[in-house]
Structure 1
Amino acid sequence: MSDAFVSRSLDEVRFWSRIMKEHSLFLRLGFRCEDTQLINEANQFYAIFEAIENRANSLQLDTDPQVIIRFNIEFHTAVSHIWAFKRKVLGLILTCQLPGANNFPLLVDHVSREANYFRNRLQELEPLPDAIIDENVFFLRIMADHAKFISHLLDPSERKLVDQANQFSHDFDQLLFQARDIESMRPQSQTVPILDQFLDQNRVSVKSLRDFKQTARDLIAACRIKSIIHPLLADHVFREAERFLFIIDMFEQHLTGTPVSPRDLEH
């Protein structure tokens, strides 16, 4: 149990500390030049999460669990602080105190939801049926948001890619509605056949979106399409789709006892 706790903690902190670090950068890039206080705060958070990421990468699986517990508390505190910063920024945007800034309100809400998700994840271990539904509700909304951001940040002249992004937005909105229907029907909906089909259906759609994001990321990196998407943001949303696929795969194994082939995550 101690080994599993250390392994899970390090995996979560390594992934999410990088995500929080990059959120700090994306927010900073969206502020106006005169927003020096907000820029400084974002830079401070970037440094905090970079240090946490580096420390997490230096820790080994044989680390004393008590050390990991203290590390998790430190990370939880940092995530709580960046969550508060993100909500403050959202309030400033919605009250028109940052006119001309380039952070969408939905994007700021999106990154704050991710911060809140992770700090809760460090504290809570749900029963498997609840976890399957709750994690999918969370990540399906994240994927739907990503599609919307991609659509709005591509140059309007990239009509085919914009259409594809809009279709993904619609598809994931529908999947999210379905997930919320299953959520409202529990515990009666928490049968193995229903949850297994739920995971299978979501996996197919997430793989398609993951592949689209990978293509967009590679085209942006090669300067082959027109957009205002930062290359790191393109890679960021790709990694989150990969993470969702990993979680679906993990749930499938725990639910049915049948390992999912790594080939299922390939193109």
Structure 2
Amino acid sequence: MSENTQEANMRNNSGMFVARSLDEIRFWSRIMKEHSLFLRLGFRCEDTQLIEEANQFFHLFERIEQQSHSLTNQADPEQIRRFNTEVQQAATGIFLFKRKVLGLILTCKLPGANNFPLLVDHTSREANYFRKRLKELNEGKLKPLADAIIKENVFFLRIMADHAKFIGHLLDPSERKLVDMARNFSNDFDQLVFQAVDLESMKPQSQTAPLLDQFLDQNRVSVVSLRDFKKTARDLIEECKIKSIIHPLLADHVFREAERFLEIIDMFESHLTGETYN
């Protein structure tokens, strides 16, 4: 390989590192910011310390989100590496905060609060995913394609299953048709999670292109249906056409996460077809 070719490859890898880092931070910092708001809204009036901590994380991730949008894909990779480390520390902080809150709920020290234990656990899993992703990017440790496909789908399928459960519980019980639809989505994604876990336990023998391609196709069909349901619910909530205690921002939040999952599925399929993964 010529020296010019090596330099070109290094530039391409650096550019990809910067673009992927900023994409992850822009998406997940907004998610973390909104988690802070949702948790704060679920605390009791007397939980002043927890409310203050949630507010601090809200402003921290708001600043991170703004900073990420001030940077471009032409930024210095070393600057982005330092930024990733800073954001990883913030993600670790909110992860630990969420686990602390979960512990308080499960030991009945927040009676009357409105944060479901599963919701708090759900948000902590996303914070953990975010911080691990930034660490992988900084260390250049990206999983082989087959491993990445299965692991990412196990993670996101469970996220989608949780969303369906939250929607079903936060809709007014009188919205019987929508509650039934949410329950059906919950059951569908629970089955997809189990299928993904089964595929994972069969590794490496299960990591064939035909099986992975079918796996992605099947998941896409269900995610598209759930995404469309979330979009409809979001629009109805914003127009005050259904009864629920779902915050309009939460409705949009879960819709964006479904869109994110579809983007990841599409990326995996294109890499699977091209037999490359970076």
Query: TM-score scaled to structure 1, two decimals?
Result: 0.96
2:75 alignment partner, SS class: coil
Q: Structure 2: where are the runs of 5+ without partners? A: 1-12, 137-141
Equivalence for 2:64: 52
* Correspondences of 1:231-246 after superposition (within 5 Å): 231-246=248-263
1:137 alignment partner, SS class: helix
Query: TM-score scaled to structure 2, two decimals?
Result: 0.92
RMSD between aligned residues = 0.7
* Correspondences of 1:8-27 after superposition (within 5 Å): 8-27=20-39
d(CA) in 1 for partners of 2:274 and 2:84? Answer: 30
1:160 aligns with 2:172: no
After TM superposition, where is structure 1 displaced by more than 2 Å over at least 4 residues in a row?
A: none
Equivalence for 1:115: 127
**Which of the numbers 34, 38, 41 marks the counterpart of 2:50?**
38
Equivalence for 1:67: 79
Equivalence for 1:87: 99
Instruction: State the one-letter code of the partner of 2:38.
Output: F
Equivalence for 1:201: 218
Equivalence for 1:178: 195
Instruction: State the one-letter code of the partner of 1:82.
Output: I
- 1:200-257 Cα distance to aligned partner (Å, 9 max, x none): 0000000000000000000000000000000000000000000000000000000012
- 1:58-106 Cα distance to aligned partner (Å, 9 max, x none): 1011100000000000000000000000000000000000000000000
d(CA) in 1 for partners of 2:85 and 2:184? Answer: 40
- 1:96-148 Cα distance to aligned partner (Å, 9 max, x none): 00000000000000000000011111123111100000000000000000000
| CA deviation after TM superposition for structure 1 residue 6, in Å | 0.4
1:212 aligns with 2:229: yes
**Which of the numbers 112, 115, 120 marks the counterpart of 1:103?**
115
d(CA) in 2 for partners of 1:30 and 1:56? Answer: 28
Instruction: State the one-letter code of the partner of 2:162.
Output: D
Equivalence for 1:147: 164
1:253 aligns with 2:265: no
d(CA) in 2 for partners of 1:123 and 1:197? Answer: 30
Deviates more, 1:79-88 or 1:118-127: 118-127
Instruction: State the one-letter code of the partner of 2:269.
Output: E
Instruction: State the one-letter code of the partner of 2:65.
Output: E
d(CA) in 2 for partners of 1:85 and 1:48? Answer: 13
* Correspondences of 1:130-141 after superposition (within 5 Å): 130-141=147-158
Contact 2:85 2:135 in 1 (8 A): no
Instruction: State the one-letter code of the partner of 1:20.
Output: M
- 1:24-68 Cα distance to aligned partner (Å, 9 max, x none): 000000000000000000000000000000000010111000000
Equivalence for 2:15: 3
Instruction: State the one-letter code of the partner of 1:200.
Output: D
Structure with max Cα Rg? 2
Instruction: State the one-letter code of the partner of 1:179.
Output: A
Q: Structure 1: where are the runs of 5+ without partners? A: 259-267
